Chains A and B, each alone.
Chain A
Amino acid sequence: MQTNQLLLIFCAALLLLGLLAFFAGRSKATRIRSAGTAMFAQPDQYAWFTVLSTAGPALLVSALGAFVLLLMGANIPTLYLLAASLVVAAIGLLVSLNQVKPDFHARQAMERVIRMILASAALISIFTTFGILFSIISEAVRFFKMHSFWEFITGTTWSPGASFLAAAGRGDGGGAEFGSVPLFAGTFMITAIAMLVAVPVGLLSAIYMSEYAPSKVRTVAKPVLEVLAGIPTVVYGFFAAITVAPLIVTLAGFLGLDASYNNALAPGIVMGIMIIPFISSLSDDVINSVPDTMRQGSLALGMTKGETIRDVVVPAALPGIISASLLGVSRAMGETMIVVMAAGMRPNLTANPLEDMTTVTVRIVAALTGDQEFESAETLSAFALGLVLFAVTLVLNLVSVLMIRRFREKYRVNNL
């Protein structure tokens, strides 16, 4: 029999047992109650209790079995496993039916189980973080066994070159160099360009929306800006590569400069546009939650509105604005599609934004697409790069969270 069919039969049998449990549990409880005995819970609650204790252990057993099967490669036939689960279900059914007694707190027992299910759902997010950490670190460690960590951090040449030959058992991989400095330089360059676009435009737009704009403009402008955040990054990438990059080459040509079609400026600018709404929306919230008494205090001293904004409102909102900008930086560094499509592939250590450069995320994608051996140093290098990216964005996010929390405590704002 096919595994799929087996699974189907298993599910049907379990469902049947569950239904049986429900009706048996309820009828027993109803019978007891109609005999005049007072019970702690409603018949339906007893019924659900029996269902839970029938299906729960059975599912647990089958999940555990599946896990063992996959992990340890243990050779348990699926048929036996599922049959065992069904037996467990039947035992659960009998035991729980026996438990349907007037003095049994079925509702509390059930709610304890529900609570545990909810809590284990909450654990999944923790597992996700650990999953990311585990998957990245374990592969990165394998990479660092092949190439020194020091060389990775300080080396200025990134040429994975012949490493895939080494993995295939041909050649010694001697020519490969993994110095990540040019990649990080490219990432920082493009991030810096993006922030140069996003922070001024985003912050000033936020100031306009929260301090000057009539409410009508505000209700229109806010969602329109959000549209910028909703555009998929692959679309931005296309825009950067097809429209913005040639435009920059032409403009540079007018100025007598030589620009590459994969220049760093185009993805940087487009990434900046993408990040504008992140900055503006958070800054807007923060500026709005600066207490009005602060503005009035300044205006009452005979300050102009501009001076009030510049010298009182913005400094008061500064922790929030910095926090928004840090989130923006974290976003820009991890952004992949725009740079994959518009930035170059060539690791290039330069300060000229008109030259082509590559970034960390571009190399991660390059290393993991294509038909390479997973064991090769180049593939594994993606995880080493991912590890550094994870660490940097984690620090940025945490600092940002701490700053916004300080702001919130200072002004007792709850909506941030």
Chain B
Amino acid sequence: MNSQAPVMSEQDTPNVGQPYTINDQACHDLSIRVRDLNLWYGKNQALKNLNIDLFQKNVTALIGPSGCGKSTFLRCLNRMNDLIPTVHTEGLVEMDGHDVNAKKMDEVALRRRVGMVFQKPNPFPKSIYENVSYAPRMHDIVSRKADQDELVEQALRDAGLWNEVKDKLQEPGTSLSGGQQQRLCIARAIAVQPDVILMDEPTSALDPISTATIEDLMDRLKEKFTIVTVTHNMQQAARVADYTAFFHLGEIIEYNDTKVMFSTPAKKKTEDYISGRYG
């Protein structure tokens, strides 16, 4: 990616003065650029004119009351919404100079570069080793057995799971505890070596200790990956995210540096939400 490119340029600014950007230093490279994104479930509009820039090797948190469209937006980034037949999308989601929604964009190739971790851990009904090695093998990232072993070990180490499972790699992934399963899913995602990892409330089904482990993990993973996470938990956003976007009723109300947003929110709605008046 072109690191000299400014985060924003004048012509990128949409007509409506949406608070979609941050007057940030240009040290962060752009990862995904979203312009005028609209999405409908049948006739219900779920996302309205979203504009947002997601920065490389940062954690961006999407917060907001339930049903505000944050998960739907997340799934636009790797086109998981394609799986729902009634969904219809308009607008630009740009990554690496390509329009993600373009006809000629292969959604399989996109997902190869934009991995995802889900709300509930969903390891495959295979061994721990197979869970991690399956996708890299299919993607031809590794072919030799030794490389594969190495890759699995590296991914499991990166996910902070290696020490716990190194002696039982052949046991089924489902035999692990919930928190371990979720880390296995993260290991599975990073083994593909994506650019972006999307996390859809990755800790909502987990206990507090597992949650803390995964939050630590996110902090470490951002050295290698761009992370976009949805959370219903504001404290979590404040703890792990560099940037935070506040969603409300399908719109982005405010998007800013997390510290700024939580100390001096620009919008009344944001302030009400983070101070707990609704949500």
- The residues of A with any CB-CB pair to B shorter than 8 Å are 291, 293-304, 307, 311-312, 315-316, 410
Contacts and interface: CB of A to CB of B under 8 A. Distances in A.
20 contacts: A291-B122, A293-B122, A294-B122, A296-B116, A297-B123, A299-B108, A300-B115, A300-B118, A301-B115, A301-B135, A301-B192, A302-B108, A302-B113, A302-B115, A302-B192, A303-B135, A311-B138, A312-B125, A315-B124, A410-B125
Contacts of A295: 83
A304 B108 CA distance: 6
B188 interface: yes
A300 B108 contact: no
A297 B118 contact: yes
A237 to B, nearest CB: 41
A312 B83 CA distance: 17
B187 to A, nearest CB: 12
Given A296-B80, A296-B83, A311-B134, A301 B122 contact: no
Given A296-B80, A302-B112, A303-B138, 20 more contacts: A293-B118, A293-B122, A295-B83, A297-B118, A297-B185, A297-B188, A298-B124, A300-B189, A301-B134, A301-B135, A301-B188, A302-B108, A302-B113, A302-B135, A304-B108, A311-B124, A311-B138, A312-B125, A315-B124, A315-B126
A297 B108 contact: no
Interface in B46-89: 78, 80, 83
Contact of A299 (B111, B134, B192): B111
B120 interface: yes
Contacts of A303: 108, 135, 138
Contacts of B110: 302
Contact of A312 (B80, B109, B124): B124
Contacts of A301: 111-112, 115, 134-135, 188-189, 192
B220 interface: no
Contacts of B112: 301-302
Given A301-B135, A307-B138, A311-B134, A316 B118 contact: no
B124 A294 contact: yes
Contacts of B122: 291, 293-294, 296-297
B118 A296 contact: yes
A299 B110 CA distance: 10
B107 to A, nearest CB: 8
Nearest to B125: A316
B157 interface: no
B239 interface: no
Interface in B169-197: 174, 185, 188-189, 192
B139 interface: yes
A303 B116 CA distance: 12
B207 to A, nearest CB: 20
Interface string B186-227: 001100100000100000000000000000000000000000
A295 B174 CA distance: 16
A115 to B, nearest CB: 43
A295 B110 CA distance: 16
A297 B80 contact: no
A70 B30 CA distance: 93
Most buried by B among A291, A301, A312, A410: A301
Chief secondary structure at chain A's binding surface: helix
Contacts of B192: 301-302
Given A293-B118, A304-B108, A299 B124 contact: no
Contacts, number: 67
Contact of A297 (B83, B124, B174, B198): B124
A159 to B, nearest CB: 51
A127 B124 CA distance: 44
A301 B110 CA distance: 10
A363 to B, nearest CB: 43
A300 B124 contact: no
Contacts of B134: 301, 311
B126 A299 contact: no
A302 B109 contact: yes
7 cross-chain pairs, A with B, having the tightest CB-CB distances, nearest first: A302-B112, A300-B116, A293-B122, A301-B135, A302-B111, A297-B122, A316-B125
B200 to A, nearest CB: 10
A296 B80 CA distance: 8
A159 B159 CA distance: 70
A382 B102 CA distance: 70
A387 B78 CA distance: 59
A302 B139 contact: yes
A299 B139 contact: no
Interface string B122-154: 111110000000110011000000000000000
Given A291-B122, A315-B125, A300 B78 contact: yes
A15 to B, nearest CB: 62
A295 B139 CA distance: 17
Nearest to B185: A297
Interface string B17-48: 00000000000000000000000000000000
A205 B78 CA distance: 30
A391 to B, nearest CB: 32
Contacts of B139: 302
Interface string B218-262: 000000000000000000000000000000000000000000000
* B83, B110, B123, B124: residue with the most chain A Cβ atoms closer than 10 Å: B124
Contacts of B124: 294, 297-298, 311-312, 315-316
Contact of A293 (B111, B120, B135): B120
Contacts of B113: 302
Contacts of B116: 296, 300
B80 A300 contact: yes
Contacts of B111: 299-302
Nearest to A291: B122
Contacts of A312: 124-125
A299 B84 CA distance: 13
Nearest to A297: B122
Nearest to A304: B108
Contacts of A307: 138
A90 B139 CA distance: 86
A386 B80 CA distance: 55
Nearest to B113: A302
Q: Among A302, A304, A312, A315, which residue has the most Cβ atoms of chain B within 10 A?
A: A302
